Amino acid sequence: MSDTPINGLTGAQKMNGTEEKTPFLIGVAGGTASGKSTVCKRIMEKLGQAEIDNKQRQVVCISQDSFYRELTPSEISKAARGQFNFDHPDAFNETLIRDTLIDILAGKMVQIPTYDYRNHALKKDEVLTIYPADVVLFEGILVFYFPEVRKLFHMKLFVDTDSDTRLARRVPRDINERGRDLDQVLNQYMNFVKPAFEEFCSPTKKFADVIIPRGADNLVAIDLIVQHIREILSSKPRNSEERSLPQVRVHPAMLQSPTKRVTISNDVCKRPH
Ligand SMILES: Nc1ncnc2c1ncn2[C@@H]1O[C@H](COP(=O)(O)OP(=O)(O)O)[C@@H](O)[C@H]1O
Ligand SMILES: O=c1ccn([C@@H]2O[C@H](COP(=O)(O)O)[C@@H](O)[C@H]2O)c(=O)[nH]1
């Protein structure tokens, strides 16, 4: 959880002659439908970040699903038949994840693709711009799997929801939001999702600093994490003049009572469906 040196970045780097802290990078792992993006959304809401314009946010959230690699034609046809393993580490572009997070830690603006679950492909014409922020949440099933990625996080959370609940949530989500039918969802779950969770995702729980049982239902855990993030934010320079950055990062909501809530927005975690 500490701001220890990572990849040559010391937690504070020189920019324009001033000390500029690197963003605090939080990894959020957990099985499919465990509530990773819901937890991130709750955190953003409680910090009053959910309805703030993308460019102005102090806290941003990115999904690992934006880093699925492009499939070959034969893999695309397998995917259409539910025979491609999207839960295996090889399904992700590890290098792009690492390089993107390193750029984020260096305070750079980055562009990331969005993912189309219905067509199992990146949407080339829909790129998300992630502006520099003070805290970055990066959520996904295998965010702690790759050592070169794992070591970049300042704090690691694991959302631990039992597998029955996860399956019960995944079935309606995949049917209603991802264009699947019941047979397809259950076959994919039994053949790929469950075995890959046991082999690749579950063992990464041991790397977590904080395990969140019951996901977004665990209000105590979420409040503790939010409090920690507030402390991080309060130690950051508060406006663009102090930070020597062109963007104004602080929304009035963040300068008022720390418990102030702001209305919910739906695209907090930039998770495409
Ligand atoms: N605590 C909860 N209670 C009820 N439904 C939930 C809860 N957390 C998540 N969900 C629902 O379960 C599904 C998966 O949640 P999501 O946060 O997207 O999981 P993940 O990001 O881990 O895949 C979504 O439809 C979401 O609305
Ligand atoms: O084309 C795809 C890409 C991914 N999946 C499944 O998505 C989950 C990861 O997303 P969560 O929101 O964390 O559940 C993973 O289990 C893949 O099986 C897919 O079905 N199709």
Residue 6 pLDDT class (50, 70, 90 cuts): very low
* Mean pLDDT, residues 207-213: 98
* Mean pLDDT, residues 131-145: 97
- Residue 269 counted as domain residue: no
Centre of ligand 1 from the C-alpha of residue 149, in Å: 25
Please report which ligand is nearest the Cα atom of 142: 2
Burial letters for 203-212: b for 16+ Cβ neighbours within 10 Å, e otherwise?
ebbebbebeb
- Residue 4 counted as domain residue: no
State the pLDDT at residue 229.
96
Q: What letter does residue 67 receive in the DSSP assignment?
A: G
State the pLDDT at residue 1.
42
Asked if the model's pLDDT at residue 97 lies above 80, the reply is yes
- Residue 18 counted as domain residue: yes
Least confident range of 5-9, 185-189, 250-254: 250-254
Whether the CB-CB separation of 209 and 155 falls below 8 Å is answered with: yes
- Residue 1 counted as domain residue: no
Whether the CB-CB separation of 123 and 113 falls below 8 Å is answered with: yes
Residues with CB under 6 A from ligand 2: 32-33, 36, 65, 68, 86-87, 117, 120, 141, 193
Task: Verify whether ligand 1 is closer than 6 Å to residue 31 (CB atom).
Answer: no
State the pLDDT at residue 257.
33
Q: Across all residues in the chain, what is the average pLDDT?
A: 83
* Mean pLDDT, residues 136-157: 98
Following CA atoms 120, 43, 197, 164 in sequence, which dihedral angle do they give, to the nearest 10 degrees? -100
- Residue 2 counted as domain residue: no
**How far is Cα 44 from Cα 263, in angstroms, rounded to an integer?**
11
Q: What angle do CA 228, 153, 219 make, to 5 degrees?
A: 35
Q: How many domains are contained in the chain?
A: 1
* Mean pLDDT, residues 216-237: 93
- Residue 89's domain spans which residues? 12-264
- Residue 230 counted as domain residue: yes
Please report which ligand is nearest the Cα atom of 32: 2
The two structure tokens encoding residue 130: 């992630």
State the pLDDT at residue 212.
98
State the pLDDT at residue 236.
75
Residue 21 pLDDT class (50, 70, 90 cuts): low
Centre of ligand 1 from the C-alpha of residue 44, in Å: 15
Q: The CATH number of the domain where 189 resides is what?
A: 3.40.50.300
Residue 226 pLDDT class (50, 70, 90 cuts): very high
Please report which ligand is nearest the Cα atom of 64: 2
Asked if the model's pLDDT at residue 3 lies above 70, the reply is no
Centre of ligand 2 from the C-alpha of residue 209, in Å: 24
Q: What are phi and psi of 122, to 5 degrees?
A: -75, 145
Residue of 37, 38, 204 with the most ligand 1 atoms within 8 Å of its CB, for mutation: 38
Centre of ligand 1 from the C-alpha of residue 217, in Å: 10
Q: What is the pLDDT of residues 249-269, one digit of tens each?
A: 222 222 333 332 222 223 566
